[in-house]
Amino acid sequence: MKKKWFQLLLSITLVLSLLAACSSNTPAEPSASDSGSTAGTDGEAPKDYGKVYLYPNYGHLGNAVNMSTKETLDEIRQYIKEQTGVEVIEIVPPKGSEADRLNLLLAGNEPLDIYIGTMDLHQASGGAFPLNKLLDNHGQAIRALWPDNWSRASWEALQTSDGELWALPISPPMAGEALTIRKDWLDEVGLPVPTNLEEFEAVLKAFKEKDPVGNGETIPLITSFAEMNRTLAGLFMDNGYGNWIDAEGKVRPTVQNPDYETFVKKMADWFKKGYIYRESFSSDGTRVIELVRANRVGSAATWHSRTFAQTMAIRGTLDQDAEYVVADLQGPKGYGRMVGGVGKAGTMINKNAKNPEGAIRYINWLQSDVDNYLTGYYGLQGKHWEWVDKEQGTLRRLNTDYAGEFMTAFSFAMTVQFREDDPNSNDPWIRPFFAKYLVEKEKVKYEGTSEVSYLFETARIAEEVPSLSDVDRMIEQEITKFIMGARPLSEYAQFLKELEDAGINKWIDAYTKEYERVKDREAG
């Protein structure tokens, strides 16, 4: 998708005060009067299920140049009401102040039914409505949408220990970072797509020496600290870049894994040889995209769309043969790509919602059929969008009159069912990645506590380790120095001792205690 909405969702920062969601009201019991159907029978109009106020704070409206006109919204609103019996009322987030507006909505008496929130903040502080009974009575499509082979932890992370569900998942754990390489440049230097570490190093050497761009402008590899680790460190470690469990059952950070030092030495060697872009560790995603679009990047260990989504722009201006492909490398410890953590953000119903039943009915309708979902996302079929090939999931936008104000309950399970058939779209490169790599389970690594880490009480860990952020910052700074040659690798053991002085043992104790607590709870 051109807007990479799922990426935006995973990076939404909902840092609100705890006051925002605090309330002592007891939620009303949902009705058990029917099986969840919204449409009327025998062609009759559905019952009137009242108004539902939604706050679409998923990030997609931030990309809109213009909001929808009142006439467009009223037309779509009427269609939705005819289909569901629900009158949806949009509360458009103010750009740049989305979190502040949500804070006021949750703290005040203004109507609000649906929003995206987090377990650690909104549920923990009393801002979410329990969903089990609502789903039992009106949410059959919601429950059925999630594929069986996707992580059930995505649901479990949104539950409390009593089994109550408080939010609907947006996406499963994803392996979104990847090593992508210019296939046309590989052809130019006479090398195949690499399959192991040695072959990839040969590619970097060829890109550096043969310089496909010219004038020394070729960047053999661009990355960042986090993306380098999440894409390549797993080649050297069983658990990839993440917590691991030692022989005594203690949870330890990656830097204490003996094999991580070997990885750091390899990255330092590549940096010294000029294979890694010198400004990689000070460049943000925007800078990476700029360099990719400038037709300078031979390979990138980064979030996949930073290369794939720029390919059409390169073809249209600088190089009509440009093509990035994924390289599935294997190293001493197998494949390297990491699977991300389980998300604890999801679609919530406000604890003080005036119409929780109408809210879940509307969500159920959206997630019951891709046509319904696209109505919320793109507008009316035949007026704002149309199918090019429904069987293949390709559609065409007819205009951008509708910005998506009625879209809520995003789900990656729906996203994989459609794409835009646009000659200027980057989907031809991104869609195969969606299908093959994002929810990959075979050629990826999971950090050592991944089975239960989403159940950790992060606030408790932070309380026990006041220096937590300082330790994390110190790790990134010092490892970067080692790679860039600003600190000799002979001092790695000294660095580990410095971490102990900075409080890493408290980190180990806190994470180990939390790991044991959760494991005991799950076992009992």
190 and 331 in a single domain? The answer is yes
Please indicate, yes or no, if residue 328 is contained in any of the structural domains. yes
Please indicate, yes or no, if residue 446 is contained in any of the structural domains. no
With a cut of 70, say whether residue 1 has pLDDT above it. Answer: no
Residue-range definition of the domain harbouring residue 116: 5-14+47-173+342-422
Which alpha helices (H) appear in 379-467, and where do they start and end? Answer: 412-415, 427-433, 458-464
**Closest among 229, 192, 232, 191 to 210, alpha carbons compared:** 191
- Do the beta carbons of residue 335 and residue 441 sit within 8 Å? no
Count of domains for the chain: 3
Please indicate, yes or no, if residue 168 is contained in any of the structural domains. yes
With a cut of 50, say whether residue 370 has pLDDT above it. Answer: yes
Strands, E assignment, 282-410: 299-303, 324-326, 330-331, 334-335, 345-349, 385-389, 394-397
- What are the angstrom distances between the C-alpha of 249 and each of 223, 246, 256, 464? 33, 5, 14, 19
Structure tokens at 339: 């699977």
With a cut of 80, say whether residue 40 has pLDDT above it. Answer: no
Predicted local distance difference test score (pLDDT) of residue 424: 64
User: Region 197-211: what's the mean pLDDT?
Assistant: 98
With a cut of 50, say whether residue 14 has pLDDT above it. Answer: no
Higher pLDDT, 249 or 14: 249
The gap from C-alpha 489 to its chain's centroid, in whole angstroms, comes to 34
Q: What is the C-alpha separation between 153 and 518, in angstroms, rounded?
A: 14
Which residue type sits at 317?
T
The gap from C-alpha 140 to its chain's centroid, in whole angstroms, comes to 25
With a cut of 60, say whether residue 329 has pLDDT above it. Answer: yes
- Do the beta carbons of residue 413 and residue 154 sit within 8 Å? no
Long-range contacts of residues 400-404, Cβ cutoff 8 Å, at least 24 apart:
400/65, 400/66, 401/68, 401/69, 401/72, 402/68, 402/72, 402/73, 402/76, 402/378, 403/61, 403/64, 403/66, 403/67, 403/68, 404/56, 404/60, 404/61, 404/64, 404/376, 404/377, 404/378
87-124 pLDDT, tens digit per residue, is 999 999 998 888 889 989 998 878 999 999 999 899 99
Predicted local distance difference test score (pLDDT) of residue 442: 86
Pairing of strands 114-118, 345-349: antiparallel
Q: What is the C-alpha separation between 340 and 345, in angstroms, rounded?
A: 14
Kind and range of the H or E element at 196? none
Predicted local distance difference test score (pLDDT) of residue 286: 92
- What are the angstrom distances between the C-alpha of 490 and each of 169, 261, 467, 486? 46, 11, 26, 12
Predicted local distance difference test score (pLDDT) of residue 43: 54
328 and 378 in a single domain? The answer is no
Residue burial 265-275, b: 16+ Cβ < 10 Å; e: rest: ebbbebbeebb
User: Region 460-470: what's the mean pLDDT?
Assistant: 89
| Residue 459 binned pLDDT confidence (cut-offs 50, 70, 90) | confident
With a cut of 50, say whether residue 42 has pLDDT above it. Answer: no
Please tell me what DSSP assigns to residue 340.
Answer: P
Q: What is the C-alpha separation between 56 and 376, in angstroms, rounded?
A: 11
**CATH assignment at residue 375:** 3.40.190.10
Please indicate, yes or no, if residue 245 is contained in any of the structural domains. yes
Please indicate, yes or no, if residue 459 is contained in any of the structural domains. yes
3-state SS record for 19-41:
HHHCCCCCCCCCCCCCCCCCCCC
Q: What is the C-alpha separation between 355 and 353, in angstroms, rounded?
A: 5
**SS3 assignment, position 182:** strand
Which of 335, 363, 398 is the last residue in one of the domains? 335
357 and 303 in a single domain? The answer is no
Q: Which residues are 330's β-sheet partners?
A: 196, 335
Pairing of strands 299-303, 324-326: unpaired
**Closest among 237, 238, 227 to 178, alpha carbons compared:** 227
Please indicate, yes or no, if residue 61 is contained in any of the structural domains. yes
374 and 415 in a single domain? The answer is yes
300 and 327 in a single domain? The answer is yes
Which of 335, 355, 379 is the last residue in one of the domains? 335
Predicted local distance difference test score (pLDDT) of residue 10: 36
**SS3 assignment, position 446:** coil
Predicted local distance difference test score (pLDDT) of residue 9: 36
Please indicate, yes or no, if residue 26 is contained in any of the structural domains. no
325 and 377 in a single domain? The answer is no
With a cut of 70, say whether residue 198 has pLDDT above it. Answer: yes
- Do the beta carbons of residue 230 and residue 254 sit within 8 Å? no
329 and 239 in a single domain? The answer is yes
Predicted local distance difference test score (pLDDT) of residue 45: 67
- Do the beta carbons of residue 181 and residue 324 sit within 8 Å? yes
Higher pLDDT, 361 or 439: 361
With a cut of 80, say whether residue 41 has pLDDT above it. Answer: no
Q: What is the C-alpha separation between 449 and 230, in angstroms, rounded?
A: 16
Which of 292, 317, 335 is the last residue in one of the domains? 335
| Residue 143 binned pLDDT confidence (cut-offs 50, 70, 90) | very high
326 and 192 in a single domain? The answer is yes
Q: What is the C-alpha separation between 203 and 220, in angstroms, rounded?
A: 8
Please tell me what DSSP assigns to residue 255.
Answer: G
∠ Cα 119 121 127 (to 5°): 85
Q: What is the dihedral of CA 275, 277, 282, 284, to 10 degrees?
A: -120
* Average pLDDT over all residues of the chain: 88
Predicted local distance difference test score (pLDDT) of residue 354: 95
| Residue 321 binned pLDDT confidence (cut-offs 50, 70, 90) | very high
Which residue type sits at 204?
L
- Do the beta carbons of residue 464 and residue 517 sit within 8 Å? no
426-449 pLDDT, tens digit per residue, is 667 787 888 788 888 889 999 999
129 and 168 in a single domain? The answer is yes
Range with the poorest average pLDDT among 72-76, 379-383, 518-522 = 518-522
306 and 351 in a single domain? The answer is no
216 and 266 in a single domain? The answer is yes
| Residue 27 binned pLDDT confidence (cut-offs 50, 70, 90) | very low
Which residue type sits at 404?
G
Please indicate, yes or no, if residue 22 is contained in any of the structural domains. no
pLDDT above 70 covers a percentage of the chain that reads 90
- Tell me whether residue 486 is exposed, middle or buried, using C-beta atoms within 10 angstroms of its C-beta: 0 to 12, 13 to 18, 19 or more: exposed
- Do the beta carbons of residue 306 and residue 179 sit within 8 Å? no
229 and 155 in a single domain? The answer is no
∠ Cα 401 406 411 (to 5°): 110
